[in-house]
Amino acid sequence: MATLPLTQVLGALAAEAGLLSDFAARAAAALSRSLDGPAGLEMPDLLRDAQALDALEQHVAGLRVCLESLARSAPADVTLDVSCAISALPLAAQAARLSGRGGTAASDPGLELF
């Protein structure tokens, strides 16, 4: 059983949302670079996709702010069993971060080329 303080769980979720926001920003920037100039005008669907990535970044960043606020205001003495939630995660590094066993999401996990 992995029982953690609610403040820690919310803080870890906020950090994970920040990582997702960063990923979305990187993807949006890469897509925008590929659409610079006349090529972008010829591919309106890709322009909409770039806007969707930008919206995703903003929504996830907002979620991070909300989770950070909840983490600051949550009672310090409340704990939560996160075992079931953690065991359902397919990414080992994410599971480690959210269970308190790994590093923080604030550090770049280092994406590998495949």
Give per-residue pLDDT as tens, 46-100: 878 888 999 999 999 999 999 999 999 999 999 999 999 999 999 999 999 999 8
Here the tokens at position 80 are 């939560």
- The answer to the question of residue 89 being in a domain is no
Tally the domains of the chain: 1
Domain assignment present for 109 = no
Question: Quick check: is 57 in a domain?
Answer: yes
* Residue-by-residue DSSP string for 20-54: HHHHHHHHHHHHHHHTTTHHHHT-HHHHHHHHHHH
List the structure tokens of 77: 């003495």
- Kindly state the helix (H) or strand (E) to which residue 111 belongs, with its residue range: none
79 lies in a domain?
A: no
Quote the CA–CA distance of 23 and 31 in Å, as a whole number. Answer: 12
Range of the domain at 60: 7-74
Residues paired with residue 3 on neighbouring β-strands, in sequence order:
81
User: Rounded to two decimals, what is the model's pTM?
Assistant: 0.82
Task: For 11-59, write each residue's pLDDT tens digit.
Answer: 999 999 999 999 999 998 888 887 777 766 677 788 788 889 999 999 9
In a domain, 26, yes or no: yes
Look at residue 23 and tell me if it is in a domain. Answer: yes
